[in-house]
Amino acid sequence: MAETQRRGYARRYLMVLVAFALAANGQAQQPAVQATPAPLQQPAQQVLTPPPPPAWMQGRPEAMKNSSLVPHVGGVIAKPASDLKLDKIKLPPGFSIELWVTGLPDARSLAVGAKGTVFVGTRLLDTVYAVVEKDGKREVKALLKGLNKPNGVVFHNGALYVAEVSRILRFDAIEDNLNAAPKPVVVFDALPKDEPHGWKFLAVGPDGMLYFNIGAPCNSCVPPDTHAQIVRVDPKDGVLETVAKGVRNSVGMAFHPATKELWFTNNGRDWLGDELPNDTLHRVQRRMTHFGYPYCHQGDVLDPDLGRGRSCAEFTPPVLKLGAHVAPLGMRFYNGKMFPAEFRNRIIIANHGSWNKNGKVGFNLTQVTLDAQGKATKYEPFAEGWLDGANHWGRPVDVHIMTDGALLVSDDFAGALYRISYKR
């Protein structure tokens, strides 16, 4: 019986083992339980900030957001002589105008060397031209290339000085090296790099220093303290000084032949309407004078936004209001001997012409007569006709008195230089 009992135990033990084995095999064949994945983290949505408007559009009121007024396209291709309507130009009796040379796309500021070479800067291109007489004909050379808006040019002591956006360069003995310009000497290279109103006009003062503008980097804003001013740099040691402040965009200046004071043109802000503000003519009688921008325009109009809490009495007014949006650029005191005696020390201004106005104005040369105290007694046209009806075929930029007393005029839209002369 004991043997029978042992066999019973063995069978039951074997059955338990088989049952466990079958159970384990069944569990092994069951599909694995999938863990629920954690929800994916969605990236935080970025708030896209729209880019700022271009400088010319800043300050445009919401009511004018659909305005068709935009800056004119620059002339980067010179017009053929047959497209220049010089017969349309009106001048005072005894004066005449002729095409002096063409083939200078974007011709801007003018300078004349001791040997008669005419140097011409550009704003939209990277070039400085030299115009020379050869075999009785005028030849245009692309003298310098690869520069950044080399608008400002001036000749002094045998060297050509060129103003780029952020530096002033000197090219020594330039008229002896017109076929292969010498390497530049850097006079100053720490100027702001802003492109809007960054191009320069360059003049040499009676003190031998280089005077030029640093424009506001905008249409209307409170500019950095380094901007919206006229400065000067000593070409010998590179020391920079501020001459005048509150100057939005001056692209023309000259020194009075008698008083030696600095005078300059200034382009007022845009988007205040067809008749405001006037562009202006100024006189610097003491250093660090503030002429109002951006708080006060034309000497008597507070800016609707930035002028709040200010008074125009805080600032020095202009000598003369030149008209709204006429865009005065280059200016010179006439000191030649060809024109009639009454032209002596008159200011001749090149007006580039309007874009921010319904109905074009400017596109001409004007003249300003001053009395002995420097007060403007007369402001009148000198040469008109680049605006033909509602269309312009040319845009005067700069003027320069030639050694024979004739007036040279640059036109960046036509890519040409004109000569205005007088014959009794």
| Rounded Cα gap, residues 126 and 416, in angstroms | 17
Q: pLDDT tens string for the chain (424 positions)?
A: 444 444 444 454 444 433 444 444 444 444 444 545 555 666 666 667 778 889 999 999 999 999 999 999 998 999 999 999 999 999 999 999 999 999 999 999 999 999 999 999 999 999 999 999 888 899 999 999 999 999 999 999 999 999 999 999 999 999 999 999 999 999 999 999 999 999 999 999 999 999 999 999 999 999 999 999 999 999 999 999 999 999 999 999 999 999 999 999 999 999 999 999 999 999 999 999 999 999 999 999 999 999 999 999 999 999 999 999 999 999 999 999 999 999 999 999 999 999 999 999 999 999 999 999 999 999 999 999 999 999 999 999 999 999 999 999 999 999 999 999 999 8
Q: At a CB cut-off of 8 Å and minimum separation 6, what does 378 contact? A: 367, 368, 369
Query: What is the end-to-end Cα distance of the chain in Å, rounded?
Result: 160
* ∠ Cα 420 163 262 (to 5°): 65
| Rounded Cα gap, residues 415 and 366, in angstroms | 21
| Rounded Cα gap, residues 111 and 100, in angstroms | 15
Cβ–Cβ under 8 Å, residues 378 and 369: yes
* Mean pLDDT for the chain overall: 92
The tokens describing 389, both together, are: 């009806």
Residue 378 pairs in a beta bridge with: 369
Q: At a CB cut-off of 8 Å and minimum separation 6, what does 336 contact? A: 401, 402, 404, 405, 406, 407
Q: What is the largest CA-CA distance in the chain?
A: 160
Best CA proximity match to 164, nearest among 136, 145, 179, 181: 145
Tell me: the pLDDT tens digits for 241-297?
A: 999 999 999 999 999 999 999 999 999 999 999 999 999 999 999 999 999 999 999
Whether residue 277 is preceded by a cis peptide bond, meaning omega within 30 degrees of 0, is: yes
The tokens describing 32, both together, are: 């694995």
Best CA proximity match to 379, nearest among 340, 416, 359, 351: 351
3-class SS at 15? helix
3-class SS at 314? helix
